[in-house]
Structure 1
Amino acid sequence: MAFAGKYQLESHENFVPFMKAIGLPDDLVEKGKDVKSVSEIEQNGDNFKVTVTTGTKVLVNSFTIGQEGEVETLTGEKVKTVVRLEDGKLKVSLKGIESVTELADPDTIVNTMTLGEITYKRISKRI
């Protein structure tokens, strides 16, 4: 399944409680809740490069499925982890956060991040 493409955030659920739970400052939470981010995914076999642009902030993570690598979290922290591909879904654990990214259909990516009882869901459409 090919994830490659450019996607714009269409909708999200539980942004504010999730961002507060991971320790993002209130001013950044307020600024970020209405910003539409764009995710660009480059895929070459098991090698991925994901660039997420939210306003002026650009987050770039490169990884290879099944190999330990370093990724940057939403709070800017660098964490060593292994991204897995299971049932066509990209799965990764980052400091207690379980992240699952899947193609709901050829033009829609759904990313779900869970921290304890809080689940933050992002739906992005191909542009």
Structure 2
Amino acid sequence: MALSAFAGTWQMESHDNFEAFLDAMEVPAPVKAKALSVKPTAEVAVDGNNVSIKLIGPERTIEQKLTLGEVFDLVNPVTGQTRKGIASMEGSTLVVKPGEQYPKEPKSCYDIVGDKMVCTMSVGDVSCKRTFAKA
């Protein structure tokens, strides 16, 4: 599957194990409560190997711009903190991962499953899944 399959506007429908994932990231309680209540919209734009992922919530928007195979400033979608990361395609999966020096930052794997975009995020051995439908 081509990277272009991710392009479009996606509305989050559900999440699984998100609270345990936030605990593994050591997210403060007030931030965690807000994160659990939000169902963001994701706008994904693809131009060759360049990808822009914009997460739009009620209080803020976080835009992640990256080029496959190049180190970039990775923005944590929950805390908004910036770290160094790298993105790649592994088969049909878009993988966005932080540098090894950031063990509490999530690795995100994006897949197209049927007509859904599924984002599996993991920190250590804790994972969660967020499912988005085309808007």
Q: Scaled by the length of structure 1, what TM-score is found? A: 0.92
Deviations 1:3-60 (A, max 9, x none): 1000000110111111122122111211221221100000011101110012212110
Q: Is 2:118 the partner of 1:110?
A: yes
Question: Which residue does the alignment assign to 1:123?
Answer: 131
- Structure 2 distance, partners of 1:121, 1:59, is 19
Letter in 2 for 1:91: V
Q: Is 2:94 the partner of 1:90?
A: yes
Q: Is 2:44 the partner of 1:35?
A: no
Q: Is 2:108 the partner of 1:99?
A: yes
Is this contact kept in 2: 1:112–1:120, CA < 8 A? yes
Secondary structure in structure 1 of the residue aligned to 2:37:
coil
Of 47, 50, 53, 1:50 maps to: 53
Identity of aligned residues (%): 27
Show structure 1 runs of 4+ deviating over 4 A: none
Q: Scaled by the length of structure 2, what TM-score is found? A: 0.87
Unpaired segments ≥5 residues, structure 1: none
> What is the total number of aligned residue pairs between the two structures?
126
Is this contact kept in 2: 1:7–1:39, CA < 8 A? yes
Is this contact kept in 2: 1:8–1:125, CA < 8 A? yes
Secondary structure in structure 2 of the residue aligned to 1:16:
helix
Of 50, 72, 75, 1:72 maps to: 75
Higher strand proportion, which one? 1
Is this contact kept in 2: 1:47–1:65, CA < 8 A? yes
